[in-house]
Structures are given as structure tokens and as C-alpha cells.
A and B are shown apart, each in its own frame.
Chain A
Amino acid sequence: MRKSLFKYSLIVAVILLAIFLFQKINWLPSFNNIFKSQPVVIEETPIIIKQINTLAQLVTVTYTDEVVMDQAKTGNGIPSIVSAGIGMMMLPPTDRLVMIGRGKVLAGIDLKNITSADVKTTEDSIHLTLPHATILNTIINPSGFETFDEKGSWSETEVIALKLKLKNELTQRAIQQNILRQAEKRSKNIIETFLKAEGFKKVDISLNN
């Protein structure tokens, strides 16, 4: 009796050990994953080049931040009942979308429009007129967006509108942080260092009015 109990326990233990080992080397799905939704994986499709542009942008400052925004509208679901004083009140259903956007704002100067008139050299001195710094781009890629809450039905246009609001908010924050002044200062430093490395003893850089 005891012998057979030992034998059965041994078989069970060996089976359990085998299951654990097979799960470890991914031959079997883990118990947690059996009822887990499988991720939707996109197919490898070709990337087609539509346009090639030549740039000459000196990116000198980047501002990285995260912003949160929400949007609400009257939905089509079941109205919610809330207590109001001694009675109850019926509120129309509310669809809500809360998104987080993490991205960056790039600032610098566009050197494409520098003409010969902007560069004046005399022996070992140079005077250069640079354009003012601008916001070159605000980037929040799909990897930077996170949907914190999504209740109800939201159309693609509404989602895009909220994402654009997040981008706009990010740009505004960067401007409030004086990104343009910092970018101008840094651009002047970089160009000055480059010109001095070329051998110019006196370098004078001004900004275009």
C-alpha cells in the first residue's frame, strides 16, 4: 500500500517536474498564459520611400516632457444614477478618454538660407549672421502615447484631435522653458567653436533681424 503510494507520488512529481521544465524552455505555455490574450502582431510589410528632402538644420536643444489630457462627451450607454441630497439623480452616460503623451521638442536654427552676404571675412576674423532659432519639430510617436482610460466609443478623428492637443501642449511648455533662447545661445557657441577650429582668431556672430 505504502509502496504503491510512493510510486504514484513519484510519477506525479516527475510529471510536475517535466511540466515545469518544459514551461521554462517555452515548450509549454505557463499556467498564467493559458487564458491570456495573445498579442496582435503586425506583418512585415515593405517600407516605401515617398520623398527625400535635403535639410540643413542645426538642432541644438531638445525639451523632453510628458503631458496628460482628457476629453469627455455624452455617450450612448446606460445613464448613471447618483445621489443628490435626499434624492437620486440620473446623469447622462459619459464617454471619457484620458491620454498621456511623452515626446520631445527640437529647437535650433535653419542654416539653409545662409547666403554669401551673411558671411564676411577679413584675414583672420569672420562675421556671420545667423537666422533666429525656431521650433524645428515636436515629436510624440506612437510609442510615446499611452491611453490611461478609454470609456465609450471614440472615433479615429476624435483620438487624433486629442493627440494633436497633447503635441501642442508639449510645444507650449517648451516655449515657456525658454527653449528658443537656449537654442540660439547654443547654436552660436557651436558655430563659434567650429569657426575657431578653422583658424579664425576673431569670430563675431549676430542674429538676423
Chain B
Amino acid sequence: MQSMPVYKRCYVNCRMRKYLIFLFVLPVLITNCAGNKTPSKTDLVLGLQKMSDLATAEYVVTKLIKANDDKTWYKAGDRKILMSCKASLVAGIDFSKITENDINVDGKNISITIPHAKLIYVDIKPEDVKTVYQEVSLFRNNFSSEEKNNLAKQAERQITASADSLGILVTAESNASIFINNFLRKQGFENISISSGSPKQTLQ
């Protein structure tokens, strides 16, 4: 077999090396350029803050928390848990959004446009999250308090997300109208007209 001249061998080696470097570096570049964007955690603003919400409706709801810990392939045995959870959802209107422009007075007649209702808060009391049943296989540990709390967090998210579909905002708006109507009647107004105006808001 005829051997390659030295200069040609060197040329082929250099080209091969270039290709190899390119092939090994490319995936690393792709993965690095794509970057792992982690959502920035919203900073908690501590201290006193002003509010002006008129809470008009409270829904007390219950939910079962069902979970099965059998997704990790190397853990021998399963764990199941069933917890009950009671939550209170409170909704109302932002009272400060009723301005002079939203009120029309003509003698004993008054018409007011109130803002749409929003979810003010969700409250899940620690004593309202209870373990009803749990089954832990021999090789597994019991659910820790942190693990149970993580399950309750997921339930909290589901409850918060379902607020609108429960109809609490409609009830809150209707209750706000009734409250304002009664309040105005006590002030001596006879013909009262209340309507809903500005766009809907959700809990942040």
C-alpha cells in the first residue's frame, strides 16, 4: 500500500480535527445558546400597604387532594395519600375606582357605575388541610410535613384558578350593588341605578 506524503497526511488530519471539533462543539453551543430560562421569583413586598377593596362575597369550598407517588422508577414500592382541604375565597370590588365620573346625581336620583368584581384573596387555614388516608409500602417513608404541604400548594393553585368558574365574581358584583344601594338609601336617595363598568381583574 502506497503511503500518503507527509504534507497531505497533515492536511487530512487538520481537516478531520476541524470536523470533529465542530461536531462536538455544536451540540454544546446549541444547548448553551438555548439557555435555561428560569422564571424570576416575584419579590415579596413586606410591610404595610394601602388597599381599598370592598369584600362582598365569600365562598367556602372543599376539595379532595388525591396523589399517588409511583412515578420514580428506582423507588421500590408506592405511596398513596388522600387529604381533605377547605378554602375560603373572598371577592369584591375596588372601592377607590369609583370616581366622580362614575356618579351622576340629580336631586333624589343617583346612578353609579361600579368596577367589575375581582378575587381579593384565597384563605386555606392550616387546620383545614387534613390527611384522611395514606398507604405507604414497606420500603418507603411516610409523607413528611413538607411533602404534604407541597400537595396542599397544588390544591391552592387549582382552587385559585377555578374562582371565576365558581361564579364568585358574579355574586360579589351583585352583593356590591345591593350594599351600595342600601347605603345610598340610608343617605336619602330614592331612585338608585347601579351598573358594572371597568374591565374584570383576577388575583395576581
The number of chain A residues with a CB under 8 A from chain B is 85
Q: How far is the CA of A35 from the CA of B75 in the complex (A)?
A: 10
Q: Is the CB of A37 within 8 A of B110?
A: no
Q: Is the CB of B55 within 8 A of A57?
A: yes
How far is the CB of B39 from the nearest CB of chain A, in Å? 15
Residues of chain B contacted by A54 (CB below 8 angstroms): 56-58, 175, 178
Q: Is the CB of A40 within 8 A of B63?
A: no
Residues of chain B contacted by A194 (CB below 8 angstroms): 95, 98
Q: How far is the CA of A179 from the CA of B71 in the complex (A)?
A: 47
Chain B, residue nearest A153 (CB): B142
Q: Is the CB of A6 within 8 A of B123?
A: no
Chain B's interface size range is: 35 or more
Residues of chain B contacted by A43 (CB below 8 angstroms): 66-67
Task: Produce 1/0 per residue, B50-72, CB < 8 A to A.
Answer: 11111111111111111111011
Q: How far is the CA of A199 from the CA of B181 in the complex (A)?
A: 16
Q: Is the CB of B19 within 8 A of A10?
A: yes
Residues of chain A contacted by B148 (CB below 8 angstroms): 156, 159
Q: Is the CB of A42 within 8 A of B154?
A: yes
Residues of chain B contacted by A24 (CB below 8 angstroms): 30-31, 34
Chain B, residue nearest A97 (CB): B145
Q: Is the CB of B31 within 8 A of A20?
A: yes
Supply 10 A–B pairs (Cβ within 8 Å), ascending by A.
A16-B24, A17-B23, A24-B34, A38-B71, A47-B166, A52-B171, A59-B53, A66-B46, A126-B187, A182-B48
12 other A-B residue contacts (CB within 8 Å) besides A47-B159, A54-B175: A2-B13, A41-B67, A42-B67, A53-B59, A58-B95, A106-B51, A111-B183, A114-B186, A137-B123, A142-B129, A153-B142, A194-B98
A interface, CB within 8 angstroms of B: 2, 6, 9-10, 13-14, 16-17, 19-21, 23-24, 35, 37-66, 97, 102, 104, 106, 108, 111, 114-116, 118-119, 121, 126, 136-137, 139-143, 145, 147, 150, 153-154, 156, 159-160, 163-164, 167, 177, 179, 182, 186, 190, 193-194, 197-199
